[in-house]
Amino acid sequence: MTTYEELLDEAEQNNVLILENVHFESQSDGLINGNVIGLSDKLKTSVEKACIAAEELGHYHTTAGNIIDPTIPGNRQQEKKARLWAFNRMITLDKLISAWEHSCRNRYEIAEYLEVTEAFLQEAIDDYRSKFGIMVTKGDYIITFEPALSVRKIVWMEVITEG
């Protein structure tokens, strides 16, 4: 099952209807109204649809009201909240580690493995960098965000001293 199919199932479980190939007069790739999400007819791949569906589900779970006008500060905050929800749903630190363990070594390979666009992945990495700094430890791994994304397994060595 693809990530997009998982999101469709998740939406259905939450009584949210996702409509594809919706023509918007605006430049929006997706919009939500109540429990109906519309995905733009400009989205061609399931990966593009998954990224936008995740963000719109983020709106469903985290925001309220009409937040279309980005000039209103509260709307920008709610937009960011929905985006963070999408990042946390699609690109967790554990998923970055899993991608690395599956020999994904560049942004293209990691995005393909996670079934997200490279742009979406980069935004998530930028968000993690602003949240954690240039690196974070997760279990037995160090994830570095600068100068480029990398994951390293920490090798613990037992030191035996003679007494």
Range of the domain at 28: 1-65
C-alpha closest to that of 113 among 122, 102, 124, 123: 102
User: Distances from the Cα of 123 to the Cαs of 72, 83, 90, 116, 118, in angstroms?
Assistant: 22, 9, 12, 11, 9
Does 74 reside within a domain?
Answer: no
Secondary structure class of 40 (helix, strand, coil): strand
Cis peptide preceding 147, ω within 30 of 0: yes
| Total-model pTM | 0.88
Does 73 reside within a domain?
Answer: no
> Within this chain, do residues 61 and 103 fall inside the same structural domain, yes or no?
no
Does 71 reside within a domain?
Answer: no
C-alpha closest to that of 39 among 60, 13, 17, 63: 17
Does 149 reside within a domain?
Answer: yes
Does 115 score more than 70 pLDDT?
A: yes
> Within this chain, do residues 162 and 96 fall inside the same structural domain, yes or no?
yes
**pLDDT confidence bin for 74, thresholds 50/70/90:** confident
What is the model's pLDDT at position 72?
A: 72
> Within this chain, do residues 50 and 95 fall inside the same structural domain, yes or no?
no
Distance CA 1, CA 27 (A): 30
> Within this chain, do residues 110 and 159 fall inside the same structural domain, yes or no?
yes
- For the chain, what is the domain count? 2
> Within this chain, do residues 57 and 105 fall inside the same structural domain, yes or no?
no
